[in-house]
């Protein structure tokens, strides 16, 4: 029997919900590329429930304990005294989320001789040292596409919020004001702007499709060029490099995985090549942007705004400069963990576990690492390497 350690974010401060704003969420059976939504043999939750926090347990306890496995659920994940640090020593499986990542560093993996499966409940497995996973024959899997559209919707919301200066305008209302000039002095129309995405995979392409009706000029850079018919349908301009694309765009949305090739891609040099007064929305990974370079660009006016919901580390220190920098629209990492998305990624985790325990192949599109090498979607999206360095700073959040 297996020991499963599941790391999830905290329950709401006012307690686990006893009722929800809506009674149902739409059932999504397949995704735009034809991939089917997760198909476990059963689920032990009602779609629309809060599953991503510790009391929600991803709806897995009944299934796991009913089959004789041990399940440990915790929110304590950072530092030498964390529950994860203590429980990983004899864990067979670790389940984590991008929103509250259990950083599986090489050091932690060396302390976990039984660990054979790391599952990301959602998409994005950069919190796992993939080199160490390959070296130790650990399978890494994620629930690909389960929350891609959720993130794409968040991107469009944040682009409009920045360009239209929504957040400061809302705050004037809350403060009892009617300061129209203050609100519109940084407000523009998105129409006619040039918008580019770094990566046009599942999320990036979904963003492009949602922006086309706004009558903007669409650009993209990706190491896998889209089919000609897609470029023609959306009137896309492809660029060979991110440097070429950012020079002509008013808005950049970052939708690529984090790996050594993309770490700090948006540093001071890259930002200097952008149009003055550009905007960046980053819902990919915080470490793709250099934290101080972003602050400096906002303070100088090189950037007119920065938004997103990804930070490094996660959670960020309470004095992280992105909390207080000017003209930002940052949120906690929530874009991919709407209640709608949780139903899909929780079901996907159950599907992966069923396959693992029953000796059936895990879907190729869920695989990141297996058999000591990048595999499945991982072979297309990631590069070998380790992006977990520096994650120990997350312990400062709890310490504060």
Write out 102-114 in H/E/C secondary structure: CCECHHHHHCCCC
Task: pLDDT band for 157, please (50, 70, 90 cuts).
Answer: very high
For 37-74, the pLDDT digits (tens) are 999 999 999 999 999 999 999 999 999 999 999 999 99
For 294-330, the pLDDT digits (tens) are 999 999 999 999 999 999 999 999 999 999 999 999 9
Give the per-residue pLDDT at 138.
Answer: 98
For 246-276, the pLDDT digits (tens) are 999 999 999 999 999 999 999 999 999 999 9
Task: pLDDT band for 400, please (50, 70, 90 cuts).
Answer: confident
Q: Is 87 in contact with 72 (CB distance < 8 Å)?
A: yes
pLDDT at 399 over 90: no
For 175-222, the pLDDT digits (tens) are 999 999 999 999 999 999 999 999 999 999 999 999 999 999 999 999
254 sits in which H/E element:
strand 251-254
For 85-121, the pLDDT digits (tens) are 999 999 999 999 999 999 999 999 999 999 999 999 9
Task: pLDDT band for 240, please (50, 70, 90 cuts).
Answer: very high
Q: Is 365 helix (H, G, I), strand (E, B) or coil?
A: helix
Catalytic residue among 147, 158, 282, 302: 147
Query: How many other β-carbons are positioned within 10 Å of the β-carbon of residue 174?
Result: 7
Give the per-residue pLDDT at 196.
Answer: 99
pLDDT at 150 over 90: yes
Q: Is 223 in contact with 201 (CB distance < 8 Å)?
A: no
The dihedral sign for the CA sequence 72, 364, 147, 291 = positive
Burial of 72 from C-beta contacts in 10 A (0-12 / 13-18 / 19+): middle
**179 part of the active site:** no
Give the C-alpha separation, 265 to 162, whole Å. 22
Catalytic residue among 97, 158, 314, 342: 314
Catalytic residue among 127, 202, 239, 285: 285
**247 part of the active site:** no
Catalytic residue among 69, 154, 333, 344: 333
Give the C-alpha separation, 123 to 144, whole Å. 6
Residues 6+ apart with CB under 8 A from 176: none
The dihedral sign for the CA sequence 376, 379, 384, 390 = negative
Q: Is 368 in contact with 378 (CB distance < 8 Å)?
A: yes
Give the per-residue pLDDT at 385.
Answer: 82
Q: Domains (ranges, CATH) in the chain?
A: 3-146+337-376+383-388 (3.40.50.720), 148-330 (3.40.50.720)
Q: Is 200 in contact with 233 (CB distance < 8 Å)?
A: no
Angle, helix 166-174 to helix 148-163, in steps of 10 degrees: 70
Mean pLDDT over each residue of the chain, to the nearest integer = 97
Residues 6+ apart with CB under 8 A from 62: 44
Give the 3-state DSSP-derived string for 268-312, with helices as H, strands as E and coil as C: HHHHHCCCCCEEEEECCCHHHECHHHHHHHHHHCCEEEEEECCCC
For 374-385, the pLDDT digits (tens) are 999 999 888 888
Give the per-residue pLDDT at 289.
Answer: 98
pLDDT at 231 over 80: yes
């Amino acid at each position: 029997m297996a020991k499963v350690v599941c790391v999830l974010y905290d329950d709401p401060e006012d307690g686990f919900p006893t009722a929800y704003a809506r009674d149902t969420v739409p059932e999504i059976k397949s995704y735009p590329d034809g991939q089917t939504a997760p198909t476990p043999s059963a689920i032990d939750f009602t779609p629309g429930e809060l599953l991503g926090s510790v009391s929600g347990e991803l709806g897995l306890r009944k299934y796991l304990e009913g089959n004789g496995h041990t399940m440990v659920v915790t929110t304590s994940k950072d530092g030498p005294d964390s529950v994860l640090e203590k429980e990983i020593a004899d864990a067979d499986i670790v389940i984590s989320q991008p929103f509250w990542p259990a950083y599986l560093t090489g050091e932690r993996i060396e302390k976990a001789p039984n660990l054979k499966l790391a599952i990301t409940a959602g998409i994005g497995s950069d919190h796992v040292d993939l080199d160490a996973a390959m070296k130790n024959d650990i399978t890494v899997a994620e629930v690909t596409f389960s929350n891609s559209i959720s993130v794409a919707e968040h991107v469009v919301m944040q682009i409009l919020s920045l360009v239209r200066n929504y957040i400061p305008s809302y705050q004037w209302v809350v403060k009892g004001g009617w300061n129209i000039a203050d609100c519109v002095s940084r407000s523009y129309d998105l129409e006619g702007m040039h918008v580019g995405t770094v990566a046009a995979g599942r999320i990036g392409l979904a963003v492009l499709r949602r922006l086309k009706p706004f009558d903007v000029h669409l650009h993209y850079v990706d190491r896998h060029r889209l089919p000609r018919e897609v470029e023609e349908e959306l009137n896309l301009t492809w660029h060979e490099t991110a440097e070429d694309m950012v020079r002509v765009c008013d808005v950049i949305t970052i939708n690529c995985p984090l790996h050594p090739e993309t770490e700090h891609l948006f540093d001071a040099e890259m930002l200097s090549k952008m149009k003055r007064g550009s905007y960046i929305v980053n819902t990919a990974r915080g470490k793709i942007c250099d934290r101080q370079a972003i602050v400096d660009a906002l303070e100088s006016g090189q950037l007119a705004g920065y938004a997103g919901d990804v930070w490094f580390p996660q959670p960020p220190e309470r004095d992280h400069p992105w909390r207080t920098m000017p003209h930002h629209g940052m949120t906690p990492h929530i874009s991919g963990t709407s209640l709608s998305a949780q139903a899909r990624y929780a079901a996907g985790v159950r599907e992966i576990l069923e396959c693992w325990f029953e000796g059936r192949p895990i879907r190729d599109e869920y695989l990141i690492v297996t058999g000591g090498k990048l595999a499945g979607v991982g072979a297309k999206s990631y590069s070998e390497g380790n992006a977990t360095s520096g994650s120990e700073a997350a312990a400062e959040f709890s310490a504060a």
